[in-house]
Amino acid sequence: MENRITEITSKENKAVKIGIIPGHFATNHSHVNYYVDLTGIKTSHAMAIEAASVLAQSYLSGLSVDTIICLEGTEMLGAFFAQKLADAGINSNKDIAVLTPELNSNNQMIFRDNIQSKVWGKNVVLLISSASTGKTISRSVDCLQYYSGKLVGISAIFSAIDDFNGMPVNAIFRSSDLPKYETFLSHECPMCKQGKKIDAVVNSYGYMKL
- pTM equals 0.91
DSSP letters, 77-132, are HHHHHHHHHHHTTGGGG---EEE-PEE-TTS-EE--GGGGGGTTT-EEEEEEEEES
Residue 4 pLDDT class (50, 70, 90 cuts): confident
Tell me what pLDDT residue 56 has: 94
Tell me what pLDDT residue 1 has: 63
Residue 135 pLDDT class (50, 70, 90 cuts): confident
If you average pLDDT over residues 71-96, what whole number do you get?
Answer: 90
Share the mean pLDDT of the chain.
92
If you average pLDDT over residues 32-51, what whole number do you get?
Answer: 96
**Cα gap 35→202, rounded to integer Å:** 7
Tell me what pLDDT residue 132 has: 82
Of the two residues 104 and 83, the one the predictor is more confident about is 83
| pLDDT of 152 above 80 | yes
